Amino acid sequence: MEMDARRHFADLAVAVATRRDRNAFVELFDFFAPRIKSFLMRQGMPGGEAEELAQEVMIVLWQKADLYDPTKSSLSTWLFRIARNRRIDAARRRRDPDLDHRDPLLIPSAPMAADEMLDMEDKERLVREAIETLPEEQIDLVRRAFFVGQSHSEIAEETGLPLGTVKSRIRLAFGKLRKVLDSRGITEA
């Protein structure tokens, strides 16, 4: 995330905390709720549950924005940590028999070091810049698939494009992104 965007989101969170600014909250909700839902779905949570939990995380933001400290982490880090913890709590409440308590996703991670956080934010900024080099129709499909969390079938249905076209454009976009990122020294982990 670019530093300007990071500051902007931090400022919006402060506005929510200090003035209960509804417009600031709506902007944060519109940006983060779909990303949190997508993250939770990638962790194996069904869509409806993921959406409910994403809304719960955003309620936490509304009610406890004063607990967010922009000097310690980005707002996205804070919100995704809340989402992760709520997901773990929900799984434990269900006493899910498929839940493996040794699963690394369920073990709290150590706080990220400041240099690691900056490195991650630099990489995220470079990825976002690389995405902006794509043709608009590819940007739209990549955003729908990876930031909103839509399946290829959902994208095809919403856009009216054939499913094969959606898949090939996304595959083509990833080929272009890989070349751009490789040229900038960003390699896969």
pLDDT at 112: 60
pLDDT at 13: 92
Residues 117-129: b if buried by 16+ CB within 10 A, e if exposed: eeeebeebbebee
- Structure tokens, 23: 């417009």
| 80 plus 92 within the same structural domain | yes
Q: Which of 68, 61, 39 lies closest to 51 in space, CA to CA?
A: 39
State the Cα angle at 41 between 37 and 44, rounded to 5°: 150
| 88 plus 14 within the same structural domain | yes
Listed residues 109, 139, 154: the one ending a domain: 109
% of the chain exceeding 90 in pLDDT = 24
Q: What is the pLDDT of residues 62-96, one digit of tens each?
A: 999 989 888 888 898 899 889 988 888 877 776 65
Listed residues 109, 142, 177: the one ending a domain: 109
- With a cut of 70, say whether residue 108 has pLDDT above it: no
| 92 plus 130 within the same structural domain | no
Number of H helices, E strands in the chain: 8, 0
68: left (phi over 0), alpha (psi -120 to 50) or beta: beta
Q: What is the pLDDT of residues 6-58, one digit of tens each?
A: 889 999 999 999 999 999 999 999 999 999 998 888 888 888 888 999 999 99
How many Cβ atoms sit within 10 Å of the Cβ of residue 68?
Answer: 22
Listed residues 109, 124, 144: the one ending a domain: 109
| 99 plus 170 within the same structural domain | no
CATH number at residue 74: 1.10.1740.10
C-alpha 147/C-alpha 32 separation (Å) is 10
What range does the domain containing 134 cover? 112-189
